[in-house]
Each structure stands twice: as C-alpha cells, then as structure tokens.
Amino acid sequence: MGILKLFYERFFNLFEQVGNITLFTADTFKWLFKKPFRRQLVVEQMEKIGIQTLPVALLTSAFTGMIFIVQLYFSLKEFDLEPLCPRSLGLTLIRELAPILSGLVMAGRVGAAITAEIGTMKVTNQLDAITIMGINPVQYLSVPRLIATSLAMFGIVVMANFVGILGGYLVGTTLLDLNKATFIAETLKYIELKDFFASAGKGIFFGMIISMIGCWRGFYVKGGSKGVGKATMESVVISMILILAADYVLNLIIW
C-alpha cells in the first residue's frame, strides 16, 4: 500500500510539474510580444551565455571530432571503407553530436546559473521587489533569457559543427592517411542544407528548453539557500533529460 501511495504521489507530482512548466512557458511567450522590449538585457545575457558556454562547447566538439574520426577510421579500415570517414563524421556531427553536446554543456553551465541567480533573487525578495515596482518579473527576467539562450545556442551549434569537423579533418589528414582534398570534397558532398538548418533549429529548441527550465525552477524555489542548491541541481537534470527526449522526437520528425 505504501509503495502504491508513493508511486501515485510521484506520478501525480510529475503531472503537476509538467503542467507548471507548460504554464510558465506560455506565460513567458505571452510577455515575449508585449512592450517594452529590453534589447539591452538580451545583449547582456548573450554576452554572459557566450562567455560561459562557447569555449567549453567548442572544445567538446573539437575533441569529439578528433576522437570520432579515429574510431571511424579503424572500424571502417577493416572493410576498406575508410573513404566513408569524412561523410560519416560530418553527418553525425551536424545532425546529432554538435547540437546535443552543446545543449548538454549549456544546460550544465547556463541552466544552472539561471536557476541559481533567479532562485537567489526569489529567496531574498528581489523578485517581489521587481513586481512591486510595477514590472512583470517574467517579462523582465525570463523573456531576455529565452531570446538570448536560443540565439546563443544557434551560434554555438553552427560554430561547434565547424570546429568538430575541423578537429576530425586535422587528425584524419595528419595522423591518419586520409587525403586532404578528398576529405573536404566528401564532407561537402553529403551535407545538405536541410542538415544545417535542422542542426541549428535543434540548437534553438534546446536553448528554449534550457532557459525555460532554468527560469521556472528559479521562480519556484522554496526553502532558502538549501532550496536554491536543490533547484539548481534539478534544473540541470531536467534540462538534460528533456534535451535528450526532444532530440529523439525531433529526429523522428526531421529524418
């Protein structure tokens, strides 16, 4: 009976959380199109997000490309299929690895920072202060973060695609015996414009997930500094799970 009750409570709680996230996201989108538009806040957030995420995301992508080409090369060489390496690397990176890895890196750094910042504002009455000053806190805090995170993710994914392939190219053509000209030609031949747009689109969508979860957990923090810590951890975990789930669904839709 105890287990059933616990299962029921957890299940009910999950539905409640999904409902809360949906309402919060709807509220943010409602305020997205209302004046005033705070461009300065968007720019500030983009700077912050770029500094926090770009170096780690690019480094992750570069190493992924470098490792991936080595694994591909030795697996395919057994069947004399190593010329397929550039094509496989390019498609896998652009379609999957660059957006996913950038999303996970951003969830860990930016999502956590957003929750910690807004959560601290909540427990020290700063959110109430914003409300009392006649400013909607969702419009002031959540909207700029939604725009900035989505735009930043677009840029980061585009760069991560390039850096990842570059990493693979450098290792493939210097340490392995892949031909430079063929590598470039093969990569460009098989990557379509659709792949590029899908990759960037995924980035924007993952950015939306990260900002919405980060802001939502921050706005609904309970229990002082301990609550902020708990919410920050939850924000990262929920964002990562949602990114992976969303990626699966997007793959089914796009390809």
Partner 1 sequence: MEILRVENLSKAFKKFKVIDDISLSFEKNEIFTLMGQSGTGKSVFLKLVLGLLKPDRGRIIFQGEDITHASDQAWIEIRKEMGMLFQNGALFDSLNVFENVSFLLTEHLNISHEEKVERVYKLLMEVGLKGIEELYPSELSGGMQKRVALARTIALNPALLFYDEPITGLDPITAAVIIRLIRELNKKNKITSIIVSHSIKTSLEISDRLGLLYRGKLVALEEAEDIKNSKNKYLKQFIEGSTKGPIEVFLEETV
Binding site for partner 1 (CB under 8 A): 36, 117, 120-121, 124-126, 128-129, 131-136
CB of 137 to partner 1, least distance (A): 11
Closer residue to partner 1 in complex, CB, 129/233: 129
d(CA 140, CA 134): 11
Closer residue to partner 1 in complex, CB, 133/181: 133
Per-residue tokens: 215: 């802001």
CB of 15 to partner 1, least distance (A): 21
CB of 176 to partner 1, least distance (A): 49
CB of 14 to partner 1, least distance (A): 23
Closer residue to partner 1 in complex, CB, 132/193: 132
CB of 136 to partner 1, least distance (A): 7
CB of 120 to partner 1, least distance (A): 8
Closer residue to partner 1 in complex, CB, 120/182: 120
Closer residue to partner 1 in complex, CB, 2/134: 134
Closer residue to partner 1 in complex, CB, 2/36: 36
Distant-in-sequence, close-in-space partners of 35: CB < 8 Å, separation ≥ 6:
none
d(CA 86, CA 10): 47
